[in-house]
Structure 1
Amino acid sequence: MSMRTADAIIVGGGLVGVATAIAVAKAGLQTIHLAPAGPPDRRTSALMMPSVDFLVAAGLIDDPANVGHPLTQIRIIDATQRLIRAPETLFDANEAGLAAFGWNFANSRLLERFHSVAATLGKLDIRDMGATAFAADGSGGTLTLADGNTISAPLIVGADGKSSLIRSAAGFPVHENQFEQAALVCDLDLGRAIGGASIEFHYPNGPFTLVPAGDKRANLVWIDERSVLEAARSQGPEALAKIFADKSQRLFGTILPVTPSHVFPLSTLSVARPGKQGVVLVGEAAHAFPPIGAQGLNLGLRDVADLATVLGSADRSQPDWAGRVSQRYADLRAADLARTGTMVDALFRSLLADMLPAQGLRAGGLWALRLLPGLRKQAFGIGMGNR
């Protein structure tokens, strides 16, 4: 066995990768973080309060008001014109005894804040370099870097996204599904402010969602067939503004795009157990969903929190400590990954369903959520990721 370079190596420079590197270094492990610089992330993330509380407790942010915007309401409008339509439904954080369901953050601002925290940690060696190969050896493994050098550790964490090198090379079975739909995202200026309400207009090929971004700003996530989104985007800002006004039923006056729009393909990806033999998967290396129910980064941060919990109680004097960490992490994450994956997949497919029974079930479900306080409370807990 080769000489180990560090206790742990984290691969991937996104939000979950940086948060993981910080958590692992704070647990006392000598940590190398392979974080090659990527293009600016212009997306936003709606983080529910358990995730926000974790960020504060982990020292990743201080006051969420300094970097984000509160989400106090969720308003759902069925705009499908289907035979059976769901009622308009409003969820208010006050019903759950909360000031807000969560906060909407610009990913770039969160990443900047995470980087500032990472720079203060003596046990964290950050390298602007990627890996070209990974060889698992039953307890962690060895990574070949872009410069040809190799590094190794008993604990390897793959935070390297949907196309994860770590997941593939370590032989994790993966289940994937590609959708015809894609997501168009950009920032908007509205004629009338939406306050703290996230507003979802449900259309046959997916929701058109406005997420509050302060004052009269909103972040748009529009899901539709990729050909429809690309055609709309190609028409330019003026035509897009008219489309946006129509899709929002002209409830918010003139809508102007203030950033370039980007179209992302949608897919699901999951592994049943995200850890084995000293290798751990976090974030989109382990799970990826359409942007429905605000679960993506929330689930990734729960990965980080559970890995930190496992490392906090690990006995690293044992020769197989990393293998035990990966197994315990997989045990701890299995139920949450299965539950969230099932929920998001069912919700997304229900939005696209044309058959009358599915329409009726969706409409009936929203009526029940509207009228039954106990069911609403349960839905709040599931959506927020309470465990």
Structure 2
Amino acid sequence: MTEDIYDIAIVGAGAVGISAALAFARDGFKTVLVGGLDARRDGRTVALLNGSVRFLEALDVWPAISAEAAPLETMRIIDDTGSLFRPPPVAFTSREIGLDAFGWNIENATLVEKLTAAAKDYDCLTLLAQQATGFEVDEAAASITLVTGETLKAHLVVAADGRNSKLREIAGIEVKTWSYPQSAVTAILAHERDHRETSTEFHTRHGPFTLVPLPGRRSSLVWVTSSEDAQRLAALDDTALARAIERQAQSLLGAMRIDGPRGLVPMSGLSVSRFQSPRMALVGEAAHVFPPIGAQGLNLGFRDVASLRDAVVDAHDNGHEPGVDETLRQYQRGRDLDVRLRSAAVDGLNRTLLSGMIPADFLRGAGLLAISNIGPLRRVVMKEGVLPHVGAPRLMQGVAA
């Protein structure tokens, strides 16, 4: 392995890592994906917003994914905080901004399976189901040490190895972490009534309670609540939990039953001081972690990959190999503002729900009323939510080349 120098080495075989491998292999770069593939089902889904759909279309994997996903044509928000400034329910429809759907909801494990199947079709993509234990850099390339003791070299290493990233630690990139007094209960549900392709989010005093459509009369649940209450809910049997969910959902979808795996996820956040170091770029949860609110997490990770791909292609067009400093500086510029604004927005919404302070309730209620009633503002917010237009990577603009 030491004699073989790859253009790109990706460490981490989750959805973000595999999509990075596909993006670079699609462009003809000699690529290796390092990591064990994990498709465990834990009741978690992802709403792939319009920008991510365009990205996956460009990678030629969308037809296989869409067959297992449900469209999100309407997004409904209901204030269930009991606030004095509680606004009326508001609904946003994708047709208002010229889209068939804001996005598509699919189980995480199914998404990973479909991406993995596509990765096996590229001759220039090598899959190594091993763990990386070391990382070194010299002027010509980076070296990755595998758990077997073997090493491989690459001009650029992409760290997609999650929130506890080993590569980020070795590179000495500083991180800031924080936690919330909350956990998320996740589950797959079957229900009596049609969801009508509508995602419903109840804002409660302990966090958002969100039901997102799946194919058929099924939905996924993300119930963010206090850590103590989440532990209590997680301890219930399927029948009792389904009744609790139905009550919290105000019987909106009728009788419910648990129809898949369940999960319990403590709420936490992570940010990094920088998104790159010599011959390394951070993507996905190696670069940012925040609560599962607003469907931003994995979509942000896909934007990381598409943005890094743009920087690498630009370097190649100028006669440079992928790991040059200018490539990494361009990537840093492209991600810094986007990630920090999204992280701040999600953190701010979550904290206003928890605060219970009258000024915070007033601002949140007034903001929702303004978005609901002011047409141009409403459309701008919807468009920015599903596909940021300022600095959007090329593969998310429908540009396949």
Q: TM-score band (shorter)? A: over 0.9
**Distance (whole Å) between structure 1 residues aligned to residue 178 and residue 139 of structure 2:** 29
**Distance (whole Å) between structure 2 residues aligned to residue 72 and residue 320 of structure 1:** 39
Deviation at 1:147, TM superposition (A): 1.1
**Distance (whole Å) between structure 2 residues aligned to residue 318 and residue 212 of structure 1:** 45
Could you tell me which amino acid in structure 1 is paired with residue 16 of structure 2? Answer: V
Deviation at 1:62, TM superposition (A): 2.5
Partners of 1:73 and 1:92 within 8 A in 2: yes
Partners of 2:41 and 2:261 within 8 A in 1: no
Could you tell me which amino acid in structure 1 is paired with residue 193 of structure 2? Answer: R
Could you tell me which amino acid in structure 1 is paired with residue 36 of structure 2? Answer: P
Secondary structure of residue in 2 paired with 1:6: strand
Deviation at 1:319, TM superposition (A): 6.9
Partners of 1:64 and 1:103 within 8 A in 2: no
Deviation at 1:335, TM superposition (A): 2.0
Could you tell me which amino acid in structure 1 is paired with residue 52 of structure 2? Answer: S
**Distance (whole Å) between structure 1 residues aligned to residue 374 and residue 263 of structure 2:** 39
Answer yes or no: is 1:187 the counterpart of 2:223: no
Structure 1, residues 1-55: CA drift from partner, whole Å, max 9, x if none? x756322211001000000011122233221211213351442110111110111
Could you tell me which amino acid in structure 2 is paired with residue 35 of structure 1? Answer: G
What is the aligned partner in structure 2 of residue 291 from structure 1?
292
Q: Decide whether aligned partners of structure 1 residues 139 and 301 sit closer, same or farther in structure 2, where only a CA change above 3 A counts.
A: farther
What is the aligned partner in structure 1 of residue 214 from structure 2?
213
Partners of 2:65 and 2:114 within 8 A in 1: no
**Distance (whole Å) between structure 1 residues aligned to residue 211 and residue 259 of structure 2:** 14
What is the aligned partner in structure 1 of residue 369 from structure 2?
367
Secondary structure of residue in 2 paired with 1:210: strand
Deviation at 1:187, TM superposition (A): 0.5
**Distance (whole Å) between structure 2 residues aligned to residue 297 and residue 272 of structure 1:** 20
**Distance (whole Å) between structure 2 residues aligned to residue 203 and residue 222 of structure 1:** 10
Could you tell me which amino acid in structure 2 is paired with residue 60 of structure 1? Answer: V
1:60-75 alignment to 2 at 5 Å?
60-62=61-63, 65-75=66-76
Secondary structure of residue in 2 paired with 1:37: coil
Answer yes or no: is 1:34 the counterpart of 2:34: yes
1:51-66 alignment to 2 at 5 Å?
51-62=52-63, 65-66=66-67
What is the aligned partner in structure 2 of residue 77 from structure 1?
78
What is the aligned partner in structure 2 of residue 240 from structure 1?
241
Deviation at 1:131, TM superposition (A): 1.0
**Structural RMSD (CA):** 1.9
Answer yes or no: is 1:200 the counterpart of 2:201: yes
Answer yes or no: is 1:334 the counterpart of 2:336: yes
| Structure 1: runs of 5 or more not aligned | none
Deviation at 1:221, TM superposition (A): 0.5
Answer yes or no: is 1:133 the counterpart of 2:128: no
What is the aligned partner in structure 2 of residue 89 from structure 1?
90
What is the aligned partner in structure 1 of residue 8 from structure 2?
8
What is the aligned partner in structure 1 of residue 258 from structure 2?
257
What is the aligned partner in structure 1 of residue 155 from structure 2?
154
What is the aligned partner in structure 2 of residue 353 from structure 1?
355
Could you tell me which amino acid in structure 2 is paired with residue 238 of structure 1? Answer: T
What is the aligned partner in structure 1 of residue 17 from structure 2?
17
**Distance (whole Å) between structure 2 residues aligned to residue 274 and residue 140 of structure 1:** 19
Identity of aligned residues (%): 37
**Distance (whole Å) between structure 1 residues aligned to residue 74 and residue 279 of structure 2:** 42
**Distance (whole Å) between structure 2 residues aligned to residue 109 and residue 199 of structure 1:** 23
**Distance (whole Å) between structure 2 residues aligned to residue 6 and residue 63 of structure 1:** 29
Secondary structure of residue in 1 paired with 2:193: coil
Moved more, 274-283 or 135-144: 135-144
Partners of 1:278 and 1:324 within 8 A in 2: no
Structure 1, residues 227-269: CA drift from partner, whole Å, max 9, x if none? 2111112121121122111100122211111123210111111
Partners of 1:140 and 1:155 within 8 A in 2: yes
**Distance (whole Å) between structure 2 residues aligned to residue 386 and residue 320 of structure 1:** 26
**Distance (whole Å) between structure 2 residues aligned to residue 145 and residue 369 of structure 1:** 51
Moved more, 69-78 or 344-353: 344-353
Partners of 2:35 and 2:132 within 8 A in 1: no
Deviation at 1:138, TM superposition (A): 6.1
**Distance (whole Å) between structure 1 residues aligned to residue 8 and residue 54 of structure 2:** 26
TM-score calculated relative to the size of structure 1: 0.94
**Distance (whole Å) between structure 2 residues aligned to residue 186 and residue 319 of structure 1:** 45
What is the aligned partner in structure 2 of residue 176 from structure 1?
177
**Distance (whole Å) between structure 2 residues aligned to residue 39 and residue 116 of structure 1:** 12
TM-score calculated relative to the size of structure 2: 0.91
Partners of 1:176 and 1:270 within 8 A in 2: yes
Could you tell me which amino acid in structure 2 is paired with residue 333 of structure 1? Answer: R
What is the aligned partner in structure 2 of residue 344 from structure 1?
346
**Distance (whole Å) between structure 2 residues aligned to residue 276 and residue 139 of structure 1:** 15
**Distance (whole Å) between structure 2 residues aligned to residue 305 and residue 101 of structure 1:** 19
Moved more, 32-41 or 305-314: 32-41
Could you tell me which amino acid in structure 1 is paired with residue 184 of structure 2? Answer: A
Could you tell me which amino acid in structure 1 is paired with residue 131 of structure 2? Answer: G
Q: Decide whether aligned partners of structure 1 residues 142 and 246 sit closer, same or farther in structure 2, where only a CA change above 3 A counts.
A: same
